[in-house]
Structure formats: C-alpha cells, structure tokens
Amino acid sequence: MLGFGDYNYEHFTREHLEEIVRAAFTGPEPGESAPDFKARTLDDKTIRLSDYQGKKNVLLVFGSATCPMTAGSIAGINQLYDQFRGNDLEFLFVYVREAHPGERVPAHKSLKDKAQAAQLLRDKEYIKMPVLVDDLHGAIHRKYSRLPNAAYLIDKSGRVAFRSLWAQPEPLGTAIQELRDRGADVVQGGEDLSMPVSYSALYSYRALERGGHQALHDFRQALGLPGRTGASSGDKSLGHPGRVFALSALAAVVVAGGMYAGFELRRRRLGGGGRINPYRAYEKDADMDYGAVGI
C-alpha cells in the first residue's frame, strides 16, 4: 500500500493502477457525519465546511488538472451549479494531488505550485464554483476517500446524504433534487458506484496532455502497453488521441470491475447480505483503508 510519503507521486505507475483496483470506497459513508475542514479558495477566502451546517446543503467535488474523469465531468457539474446553486445549496471544488503528473503539470512541491495547477484547471475547464486548494499532504482528500474524482452531497445537518465514486452529473443532480424535496436524509440509496467509461474515452487525452509527454508515457507504461516514450520538443501533439481513448477505455473497465468487487467484499465483511442502516455507527475496517489514486 502506498504510504503518506508517496501522496504526491511523481509518476503514475503500475502500482498505482493496481491500488485503484484494490480500493474500497473509504471516507464517510451515507448517514455519517462529514468531517469538518478548513481551506482557502483561489480567491483567497477561508472556508470551513461547518460554516454551512444548519444553513445550506453542500456538494463537494474532488479533482485535479490531470485527472481525465475531472475533465469529463466538469461541464455537467457546471450545469448543476447553474441549476441548483442558491440559498439552500453550495458547491465546493476541492483541488487534490495530480492523478497523472508530468513535465507540464508536475507533482506538487509547494502550495504555490498546487494553487497554480488549480488555477490552470479552473481557467481551462471554466469551473464556476469556488475552488479550494487542499494542503500538500491531502488533509481534506484523506478524510474523503482519497479517490481522484469522488463527490459528496452533505445535508444541512452535516451528514452525508449521498456520495459518488466518480462525480457524475446525472446521479448527482437526481440526488440533489431529492434532498431538496425531502430536507435532511440519505437520498438515492446513499451512493453511486458506477463507472463513466465514456468520460475516460473522450477526455483522457485532454487531461494527459495537460500533464505532458511524461504523463502519457507513464499511463501507457502502467497499462503495460507499448507507446512512444516521449516526443521531440517541436511536437505540438503528445500522440494519437484515438490510441489514448482506447487505452483509457480499457483501464476504465479494469478499474470499474476491481473497485466494485472490492467494495462489495468490504460490505459483506461489515454487514452480511442487506444494506446497513446508514445512520447506525460502526467501526470501519482499517485494513481496507487504501490510498486509491489514478485514472
């Protein structure tokens, strides 16, 4: 298992890919209290999650400039922002470590570097919601699963009403509407574990290109597939987008199957066949607290 010191890894490797496959969906579960945190936005405002308790529901979205799933979901998240943001719902984007660092957007060595990468993502993807910059050790990210593009919908009481393995706009929109209709409660069964394979196919190249030649090379190497190890400095393209789409689709299938199997195994360990009452406290299985990373 990758440790604390490897949080800002410099290269996406086979080990990282395998760790995704082993990963369970850690972090607060539906019905549990959402861990509080404090962070600064790119506009230099300090925000605490607890500031919204009793006042607003909150949608937390996690991502980075080199994460293909972030690139694939953000247009839809912006639409949700336009549709739902108001007196009873706030949107917050939490910028985490780079999923696929490279020479253009490397692993973060300082908060300044991380803020610059967050600014790049905000500008390139036209992110409308406030962007919070997590610290170098991923203090917020570690509390909320450490997955590259998860999302959490938190109700006004401060509990998790819904969580999504990947920040897919459609299920998140349905959950937001149900939460608005019902007030404070677990909605839509509490979670969505599906994998948006089409996001990976359509947006991987754009995110990897932001990382650079090294990001693309590392991605190919992690999948054990041949590819150019780099490109000349005069190249304007990092490779053929169609090949990246195909590789990414393959990775998405592997990751989706592995993560779902791991999650179901953990569920059976904790509670047998039926769904656990989401408002019942229980002790988590520390052995399953993997530091998932990647695609």
Separation of alpha carbons 235 and 229, rounded Å: 13
Q: Identify the pLDDT of residue 210.
A: 94
Question: Please, which residues bridge with residue 16 across strands?
Answer: none
Q: Identify the pLDDT of residue 266.
A: 57
Residue 277 has pLDDT above 50, yes or no: no
Residue 276 has pLDDT above 90, yes or no: no
Q: Identify the pLDDT of residue 245.
A: 59
Separation of alpha carbons 67 and 69, rounded Å: 6
pLDDT band at 290 (very low <50, low <70, confident <90, very high): very low
What is the average per-residue pLDDT within 161-187?
A: 93
Q: pLDDT exceeding 90 applies to what percent of the chain?
A: 57
Ranges 46-55, 141-150, 227-236, 267-276: which has the least confidence: 227-236
Q: Which residue has the higher pLDDT, 257 or 191?
A: 191
Assigned fold of 4-197+251-273+283-288:
Glutaredoxin (3.40.30)
Q: Identify the pLDDT of residue 26.
A: 84
pLDDT tens digits, 215-253: 989 988 888 766 554 444 444 445 556 656 566 665 665
Q: Identify the pLDDT of residue 269.
A: 60
Residue 292 has pLDDT above 80, yes or no: no
Q: Identify the pLDDT of residue 244.
A: 61
What is the average per-residue pLDDT within 18-34?
A: 84
- DSSP secondary structure string for all residues of 225-272: ----S---TT-S-SS-HHHHHHHHHHHHHHHHHHHHHHHHHHHHHHHS
Q: Which residue has the higher pLDDT, 288 or 237?
A: 237
pLDDT tens digits, 249-261: 656 655 555 555 5
The β-bridge relationship of strands 38-41 and 131-133 is antiparallel
Q: Identify the pLDDT of residue 264.
A: 56
What is the average per-residue pLDDT within 112-140?
A: 96
- Domain map of the chain by residue range? 4-197+251-273+283-288
Residue 204 has pLDDT above 70, yes or no: yes
Separation of alpha carbons 108 and 158, rounded Å: 31
Helix (H, G, I), strand (E, B) or coil at 294: coil
Tokens representing residue 231 in the block = 């490109």
Residue 28 has pLDDT above 60, yes or no: yes
**List of residues 6+ apart from 53 with CB closer than 8 A:** 156, 157, 158
Question: Please, which residues bridge with residue 57 across strands?
Answer: 89
What is the average per-residue pLDDT within 19-24?
A: 70
Q: Identify the pLDDT of residue 248.
A: 63
Q: Identify the pLDDT of residue 112.
A: 96
pTM: 0.81
pLDDT tens digits, 45-103: 999 999 999 999 999 999 999 999 999 999 999 999 999 998 899 999 999 999 999 99
Helix (H, G, I), strand (E, B) or coil at 95: strand
Residue 110 has pLDDT above 60, yes or no: yes
